[in-house]
Amino acid sequence: MLYLALMTLELSPRDEAMLAGERGRAAQMAMRILATMAEVYGAERLLDIESVHVDGCLYHGESGVEFAERLVEGKAKVVVPTTLNVGALDLLHPEYFRGSEQVRALAGRMMRAYEAMGCRPTWTCAPYQALHRPAFGTQIAWAESNAIVFANSVLGARTNRYGDFIDICAAITGRAPAVGLHLAGPRRGQLLFRLVGVPARLLGEDALYPVLGYFLGAHSGTKIPVIEGLRPETTEDQLKALGAAAASSGAVALFHAVGVTPEALTLEAALQGRPPEATIDVTLDELRAMRDRLSTAADGPIDVVALGSPHFSPVEFARLMPLLRQHRPHPAVEFIVCTNRLVYAGLQKRGWLAELEAAGAQIVVDTCVVVTPIVRAGRGVLMTNSGKFAHYTPGNIGLQVVYGSLEECVRSAALGRVWRNESLWEG
């Protein structure tokens, strides 16, 4: 009662009932945490949400396991559709895990606890490409940085950046703080990025989008960027790669691309009728410099190629297959592709999985090589076409990194050293 007296947050009768324990101990704990965080955010009320994507299912330590199992003991059940981000284990291929047996056991317990609460075992960082796509304007509470930026920007759903433990509390209560990107005003674009002198040919290349995203994040911080100059036919996978990189180099949770994303049919709409706080011209020279920043090693021998952050889509596999048929990875190079189970099943159905494995590719599901020990190489160089992998590889798994296009990655894997298409970034 003292807690209720101190609160300035307006709660609904249902919220108050949960806080009083009328829906059980787990719901009470979840509402207490959510209400406390809402006050920290400065929210005056809570709002109903229609889905949650949980990042807290990834093992980072025993406290996370204890928290999840305490919720299960309190009879916690999610009340909205709730998907799960990557865990620390590939449950279809447990032999891929190269950590200790203690960590394996704890990670498995954590994953089982979230399933016990009724979460969908999607185990993917790209739930939006695994049959869970919130409609435009839908209020949701998503965690995982690339999922957040994709939902806000490409789908036009509304979520703040939610982290571990807050995500499952939102799923159990069905509520989120009515603040920030849940509201229309704070979704206004703030910084205008104009593509100047970027060749039309490069705008069609997938390799551009992690680089452009990394540039946006580095120059935006927590502000909302607006991009002017992308093609209307920019693909979903290109936007996925852009958002993931922007959320890695900065704290970007929403971007607008004029004529491409749903809240930016015009520049005026993206800026909500106001002038930008600043205008930044993005030139080919600046993009080349940012491309180079994604690499921490000089071109030379490589030990690993890793693709699939965010998880590879069917379209991306369709682009990969003909390249692998022409350029089989060298036996000394680990070739790893991360994806979700739905895509994995599609690979099996089309006969592509057997072909990939025969070529020496390792297809990983449920997890990701920079969050759990899967890569066999203890040192050396990892090459990737992912801005997110490039950002996190040196710090997370201790390998140096080289960034390149998908074709450059595949042909480099076949040679055992970096191969470049020198014309890719020419003016």
Look at residue 226 and give its three-state secondary structure: strand
* Residue entry with tokens 């600046």: 286
CA 90 – CA 271 distance, rounded (Å): 42
CA 356 – CA 201 distance, rounded (Å): 30
Look at residue 125 and give its three-state secondary structure: coil
> Which among 183, 340, 209, 360 has a CA at the least distance from the CA of 282?
209
How is 40-56 classified by DSSP, letter by letter? HHT-SBEEE-S-EEE-T
CA 136 – CA 153 distance, rounded (Å): 10
**Phi, psi for 330 (deg, rounded to 5):** -65, 140
Helix (H) or strand (E) holding 282: strand 278-283
Residue 235 DSSP class:
-
pLDDT of residue 7: 60
Query: Is CATH 3.30.499 the right assignment for the domain spanning 2-182?
Result: yes
Residue 274 DSSP class:
S
Residue 341's contacts (CB-CB under 8 Å, 6 or more residues apart) are: 92, 122, 123, 124, 130, 365, 366
How is 355-418 classified by DSSP, letter by letter? HHHHTTEEEEESS-TTTSS----SSSEEEES-HHHHHHHHHHH--EEEE--HHHHHHHHHHTB-
**List of the chain residues with pLDDT < 50:** 1-6
Between the CA of residue 308 and those of 35, 144, 320, 350, 405, what are the distances in Å? 36, 15, 11, 19, 13
Q: How many helices (H) and strands (E) does the chain have?
A: 17, 14
Domain boundaries, the chain: 2-182, 188-293, 304-415
The CB density around residue 287, as the number of other CB atoms within 10 Å, is 20
**Signed CA dihedral, 422, 424, 425, 427: sign only:** positive
Instruction: Give the fold, CATH level 3, of 304-415.
Output: Aconitase; domain 3 (3.30.499)
**306 and 338 Cβ atoms separated by less than 8 Å:** yes
pLDDT of residue 2: 38
> Which among 182, 188, 185 has a CA at the least distance from the CA of 46?
182
pLDDT of residue 183: 98
**367 and 86 Cβ atoms separated by less than 8 Å:** yes
Look at residue 106 and give its three-state secondary structure: helix
Say whether 304-415 and 2-182 share the same fold: yes
Look at residue 335 and give its three-state secondary structure: strand
CA 337 – CA 344 distance, rounded (Å): 11
Structure tokens given for 158 = 């509304």
> Which among 152, 147, 286, 264 has a CA at the least distance from the CA of 211?
286
**412 and 326 Cβ atoms separated by less than 8 Å:** no
Look at residue 179 and give its three-state secondary structure: coil
> Which among 123, 179, 210, 130 has a CA at the least distance from the CA of 386?
210
